[in-house]
Amino acid sequence: MSDSDAPLCRFETILLATDGSEFSESAESVALDLAQRCGARLVIARIIPTDTQHDALSPPRGGEASKVAQAHLDALDKRAREVGVDASMVLRHGVDRHQEIVAIATDFKASLIVIGRRDRGDLSRLMVGDATRKVIGLAPCNVMVIPRGSQAPHRGLLVGTDGSELGDQAARAAIELSGHCQLPLTIVSVAVPGQNEARRQEGVQAIQRLQAEAREKGLEADATFEEGRPEGTLLDVAARDHRDLIVLGSHGRTGLKRLLMGSVSERVIGGSDGPVLVVKNV
pLDDT at 2: 38
Contact 249, 108 (CB under 8 A): no
User: What is the DSSP code (8-state) at residue 144?
Assistant: E
Contact 9, 35 (CB under 8 A): no
Q: What is the pLDDT of residues 89-139, one digit of tens each?
A: 999 999 899 999 999 999 999 999 999 997 654 444 445 567 888 899 899
What is the mean predicted confidence (pLDDT) over 9-35? 92
Q: What is the pLDDT of residues 75-89, one digit of tens each?
A: 999 999 999 999 999
Q: Which is higher by pLDDT, 80 or 9?
A: 80
pLDDT at 69: 95
Q: Which residues contact 234 (CB under 8 A, 6 or more apart)?
A: 158, 160, 188, 190, 246, 248, 264, 268
Q: What is the pLDDT of residues 59-76, one digit of tens each?
A: 555 588 899 999 999 999
pLDDT at 103: 97
What is the spatial distance between Cα 123 and Cα 155, in angstroms, rounded to a whole number?
30
Amino acid at 192: V
CA distances from 262 to 100, 133, 137, 230, 269 (A): 23, 10, 10, 12, 11
What is the mean predicted confidence (pLDDT) over 199-212? 92
What is the mean predicted confidence (pLDDT) over 22-46? 94
pLDDT at residue 277 greater than cutoff 90: yes
What is the mean predicted confidence (pLDDT) over 167-176? 91
pLDDT at 14: 96
pLDDT at residue 244 greater than cutoff 90: yes
Which segments of the chain does DSSP mark as H helices, in order? 25-38, 53-57, 64-82, 97-107, 130-138, 165-181, 197-216, 230-240, 263-271
pLDDT at residue 254 greater than cutoff 70: no
Q: What's the chain's average pLDDT? A: 86
Q: Which is higher by pLDDT, 149 or 180?
A: 149
Smallest CA-to-CA distance from 230 within 241, 211, 218, 246 is with: 246
Contact 203, 191 (CB under 8 A): yes
What is the spatial distance between Cα 242 and Cα 75, in angstroms, rounded to a whole number?
33
CA distances from 118 to 9, 23, 80, 260 (A): 25, 6, 24, 18
DSSP states of 31-62 = HHHHHHHHT-EEEEEEEEE-SSHHHHHSPPTT
pLDDT at residue 5 greater than cutoff 50: no
Q: Which is higher by pLDDT, 145 or 64?
A: 145
What is the mean predicted confidence (pLDDT) over 245-272? 74
Contact 272, 238 (CB under 8 A): yes
Amino acid at 184: P
pLDDT at residue 198 greater than cutoff 50: yes
pLDDT at 133: 85
pLDDT at residue 253 greater than cutoff 60: no
pLDDT at 199: 86
